[in-house]
Amino acid sequence: MNWRQLTGGKSAVWLHSPKLPAWQKKIVFEMKRRAPTDKDLIWVLSSGTQSVNEVKAIGLTREALLASARAVNAHLKSTKSDRWLLNLPTYHVGGLGILARAHLSGAKVSVQNKWNPKEFVALAGRDRITLCSLVPTQVYDLVTSGLRSPEPVRAIVVGGGALDPAVYRKGRELGWPLLPSYGLTESASQVATADLGSLRKTDYPDLTVLPHAGIELRKQRIFVRAKSVCRYVARASTDGWFSLEDPLRGGWLPTEDLGKWKDNRLKVLGRRDEVVKILGALVPVPQVEHEVRAYFGERGLTGDLTVLAVPGGRAGHDLILVFASKQSLKLWEESFNAYDAGASGPHRLKQFCWVPAIPRGELGKVKRAALLAQLRLC
């Protein structure tokens, strides 16, 4: 599959997982009937957190995707001598973007159809891969497996979520040339990415805004202006409700993310609903999750975990640790109590919950609405 084959239809193209649950397939069918069908449109389902009964689709143009690809190629200094490894779904902008970049640069593309960290390393070495995009969960798998980067790989863009700084440092120690990035489906992929010069150091890098984009911070909320921004955002629900909107406000796309400037580079703080006020202090929930993950990992506890901020109580929000593990609950409880004893007030965990599995999307993002419903916290 290449860029032309995937996007060369005579009407609007809809890209989504073939494994959508039945209720989502029903909504998408209805969206296709009611959404614009302009031939230059490519509709992609949002990879962000979805409601348990709603679907969000992003209407991108082919030129928006190509504008993003040009900017990424320029940032990575990519030419036809490069070789990309594609192992992200092409119905997400992460995978679709790789096809667009290779289409413009003339670079070749190798494909890994199913994620396996050892097979990824072997394929990257065999095919002399130079560039790749990964999500944080894939980087985590490489690092925890102790796998080293093959020599030809010169840059790996990491998107689709926040990369744990501890995982970044371990990845760099293993030779992985990791470039954290910030982007969203509405902007056809990344709009800010660590530059190649950051690979000369091991400190976690802040991000350089790509040449096709502008970013404004309004009370720390990130606004994006870019040639790659989508034309439409459509939403539909199981009860038949449908909406279609132009997402721009005065030419700018308001995001749900917060950031700050540091030496003219962008530092992303997290989503607005992930930076909460607890006991009067602003607390970035992803940062707490990274601290908790490192603390438990140092004590030999394995499994999946996430930290949720639930509104209510005297503190304003309560932080709840949710984990899925086959290890002794007593060991988890002992570590939970030890962590809380040493944590500052706003970073303390109110309670912990065991679940059989944490619901995650294909790119590793926690399905927050589904998890809250499972815990009966919404």
Report the side by side order of strands in the sheet with 317-324. Answer: 304-311, 317-324, 351-354
Instruction: Measure the CA–CA gap between 133 and 160, rounded to whole angstroms.
Output: 10
Residue 49 scores a pLDDT above 50: no
| Measured distance CA(323)–CA(370) in Å, rounded | 15
Residue 229 and residue 298 share a domain: no
pLDDT attached to residue 164 = 87
Domain end: 250, 272, 294, which one? 272
Residue of higher predicted confidence among 37 and 368: 37
Q: How far apart are CA 346 and CA 324, in angstroms?
A: 24
Which pLDDT score, from 0 to 100, does residue 52 have? 65
Within the chain, where are the H helices? 3-7, 22-34, 62-76, 93-105, 117-126, 136-144, 165-173, 285-298, 329-342, 368-374
Q: Is-contact 239 53, C-beta < 8 A? A: yes
Residue 51 has pLDDT above 70, yes or no: no
- What is the layout of strands, in order, in the sheet containing 265-271? 213-218, 221-226, 253-262, 265-271
The residue range of the domain holding 178 is 3-272
> Which single residue is written with the structure tokens 């607005």?
272
Residues 141 and 55 in one domain: yes
Element (H, E) at 320: strand 317-324
In this structure, the answer to whether residues 262 and 333 fall within a common structural domain is no
Amino acid at 335: S
Is a pLDDT exceeding 70 seen at residue 281?
yes
CA–CA–CA angle 175, 179, 181 (5° rounding): 155
The tens digit of pLDDT for each residue in 138-196 reads 998 999 999 999 999 999 999 988 888 889 999 999 999 999 999 999 999 999 999 99
Identify whether residues 114 and 43 lie together within a single domain. yes
Query: Are 131 and 206 members of one domain?
Result: yes
The b-or-e profile of 127-145 (16+ CB within 10 A means b, else e) is bebbbbbbbbbbbbbbbee
* Pairing mode, strands 41-45 and 13-15: parallel
Count of structural domains, the chain: 2
| 61 CB-side CA count, 13 A | 11
Assess whether 317 and 220 both reside in one domain.
no
Q: How far apart are CA 108 and CA 34, in angstroms?
A: 37
Residues 93 and 236 in one domain: yes
> Looking at the structure, do residues 151 and 286 belong to the same domain, yes or no?
no
Tell me which of 218, 240, 272 is where a domain ends. Answer: 272
Residue 228 to residue 64: CA distance in whole angstroms: 4
Same domain, 50 and 116: yes
Q: What is the pLDDT of residues 78-92, one digit of tens each?
A: 999 999 999 999 999
Residues 245 and 299 in one domain: no
Kindly report which listed range (118-127, 222-231, 311-320, 337-346) carries the lowest average pLDDT score. 311-320
Query: Both 265 and 304 in a single domain?
Result: no
pLDDT for 2-39, tens place per residue? 898 888 777 899 999 988 888 899 999 999 999 999 99
Last residue of a domain, one of 249, 272, 295: 272
Give the domain CATH number at 329: 3.30.300.30
Q: Which two tokens stand for residue 117?
A: 């960290």
Cβ distance 355 to 374 under 8 Å? yes
Per the listing, tokens 């293993």 go with 174
pLDDT over 70 (residue 230): yes
- DSSP assignment of 203-248: SPPPBEEPTTEEEEEETTEEEEEETT--SEEEEEETTS-EEEE---
| Residues 6+ positions from 67 with CB-CB distance below 8 Å | 188, 212, 226, 227, 228
Q: Do 285 and 252 fall into the same domain?
A: no
Supply the CATH number for residue 153's domain. Answer: 3.40.50.12780
